[in-house]
Chains A and B, each alone.
Chain A
Amino acid sequence: MNTPADRSQQKLANRPLAVRLWAWRYLFLRRATQFGILLLFFGTAHWAWQFPAKTPLLSGNLSASEFIGLVPMADPFAVLQIFLTGHVLQQKVLLGAAIVMAFYLLVGGRVFCAWACPVNMVTDLAAWLRARLPIPPLFHISRNLRYFVLAATLVLSAITGLAAFEWVSPIGMMQREIIFGLGAGGMALSSIFLFDLLILKNGWCGHLCPLGGFWSLVGRGAQLRVRFDKDSCSHCGECARVCPEPQVLNLKHLEVVGYVSSGECSNCGRCTPLCPEGSLVFDFRPLIRQHNARTERFSK
Chain B
Amino acid sequence: MSDSSVTRRDFMVKTAQGAALAASGGLLWAYLLRQEAKAQPYALRPPGALAERDFNATCIKCGQCVNACPPHILKLAPSGGDQPIGMPFFQPRTGACIMCPDIPCVKACPTGALAPELKDINKSRMGLAVIDIENCLSWKGLRCEICYRDCPIRGKAIVLETNPRGLSLHAMFRPIVNSDACTGCGICERSCPTDQAAIRILPHKLVQGKIGEHYRLGWTNEGKITQDFKPAEAVPAPVEAPGQNAPGVDYLNQGGL
> Which residues does A use to contact B, with CB under 8 Å?
44-45, 56, 59-61, 63-66, 72, 74-75, 78-79, 82, 85-90, 92-93, 96, 148, 152, 155-156, 159-164, 166-168, 172-173, 176-177, 179-185, 187-188
Contact = CB atoms under 8 A, between A and B. Distances in A.
A92 B60 CA distance: 13
Given A92-B110, A161-B57, A179 B63 contact: yes
B85 A167 contact: yes
B111 A89 contact: yes
Contacts of A74: 60, 62, 110
B117 to A, nearest CB: 11
10 contacts: A65-B64, A82-B58, A86-B57, A87-B57, A163-B57, A163-B60, A166-B86, A176-B61, A183-B81, A188-B79
B110 A64 contact: yes
Nearest to A183: B78
Interface string B9-37: 00000000000001001100110111011
Nearest to B56: A162
A5 B116 CA distance: 63
A88 B66 CA distance: 23
A91 to B, nearest CB: 9
Contacts of A182: 78
Contact of B111 (A93, A148, A176, A185): A93
Contacts of B95: none
B3 interface: no
Nearest to B66: A180
A92 B29 CA distance: 30
Given A159-B30, A176-B86, A183-B81, A64 B111 contact: yes
A172 B80 contact: no
Contact of A63 (B26, B62, B68): B62
A204 B113 CA distance: 31
Contact of A156 (B33, B53, B112, B116): B33
A166 B58 CA distance: 11
B62 A162 contact: no
A75 B116 CA distance: 21
A162 B22 CA distance: 19
Nearest to A166: B61
B75 interface: yes
Contacts of B63: 45, 59-61, 176, 179-180
B54 interface: yes
Contact of A64 (B53, B64, B66, B76): B64
B39 to A, nearest CB: 11
Contact of A152 (B22, B57, B66, B80): B22
B108 interface: yes
Contacts of B30: 156, 159-160, 164
B67 interface: yes
Given A176-B76, A176-B86, A180-B76, A164 B29 contact: yes
A187 to B, nearest CB: 7
A177 B81 CA distance: 12
B168 to A, nearest CB: 50
B62 A152 contact: no
A45 B79 CA distance: 19
B20 to A, nearest CB: 13
Contacts of A72: 110
Q: Which of B26, B29, B75, B109 has the most CB of A within 10 A?
A: B29
Nearest to B84: A167
